[in-house]
Amino acid sequence: SQKIEQNSEALNIQEGKTATLTCNYTNYSPAYLQWYRQDPGRGPVFLLLIRENEKEKRKERLKVTFDTTLKQSLFHITASQPADSATYLCAINAGGTSYGKLTFGQGTILTVHP
Amino acid sequence: EPEVTQTPSHQVTQMGQEVILRCVPISNHLYFYWYRQILGQKVEFLVSFYNNEISEKSEIFDDQFSVERPDGSNFTLKIRSTKLEDSAMYFCASSPTNTEAFFGQGTRLTVV
């Protein structure tokens, strides 16, 4: 069966450190993989998209890697700040006829301590 | 910055009643979606809509659900006869390219 798993339910780190979140998937061949941020009671906010033929994408303090052989994406936040505390969701566009449909992982709750 | 707006933010309804959740997508976007999130669970896809018709729908989106774009700006989700298990946050989203999605703040639906 198809699965998207984010390996940690919760991650606690100290301010200034790099947070690394993991997303693994099985039985998908995604055209894209995306990362979103979700704050409590709010809608997901788009952060980054990486295509199947891309290895790495950066945006300011954020970096995403995508390994289609390992079926894994890593999401890094460098120089983390307490304001980065939120739930981070990975999501897959399956491609083909399901191009626009996003399938989400369960999320990782990141807490950055001052 | 343009954003997706949803109304109402909270809706309480009696089981068996009809509800309509409203959304105003970002104005130049062409692709529209509804997702839902039951408390403590994953965000789940319900339906995608493009060119005035449904592109794809999930198993959740049964005959009790319908979507409509009644005019050039609004996008609505109707649940005909609500059940207790329909209680969730409902998110509308839109996209210019059918890839990254821009979500609204959600409508919290409580069915009692």
**What is the average pLDDT value for chain A, to the nearest integer?**
93
Euclidean distance between CA atoms A52 and A30, whole angstroms: 7
- Model pLDDT, residue B80: 96
Give mean pLDDT, residues A1-16. Answer: 90
Between chains, do B48 and A93 touch, taking CB under 8 Å as contact? no
Per-residue pLDDT of chain B (112 residues; tens, 9 = 90+): 889 999 999 999 999 999 999 999 999 999 999 999 999 999 999 999 999 999 999 999 999 999 999 887 899 999 999 999 999 999 999 999 888 999 999 999 999 9
- Model pLDDT, residue A96: 65
Q: What is the DSSP letter of A96?
A: T
| pLDDT at residue A97 greater than cutoff 70 | no
Between chains, do B106 and A43 touch, taking CB under 8 Å as contact? yes
Nearest CA to B30 among B48, B51, B1, B46? B51
Q: Which residue has the higher pLDDT, A3 or B110?
A: B110
- Model pLDDT, residue A8: 76
Between chains, do B99 and A103 touch, taking CB under 8 Å as contact? no
**A47 and chain B in contact, CB less than 8 A:** no
Burial group, residue A97, by CB count within 10 angstroms (0-12, 13-18, 19+): exposed
Euclidean distance between CA atoms A113 and A111, whole angstroms: 6
Measured between beta carbons, the chain A residues lying within 8 angstroms of B44 are 104
Euclidean distance between CA atoms B105 and A10, whole angstroms: 23
Percent of chain A topping pLDDT 70: 96
Question: Helices (H) and strands (E) in chain A — how many of each?
Answer: 0, 11
| pLDDT at residue A16 greater than cutoff 80 | yes
* Beta carbons of B22 and B74 less than 8 angstroms apart: yes
| pLDDT at residue A6 greater than cutoff 70 | yes
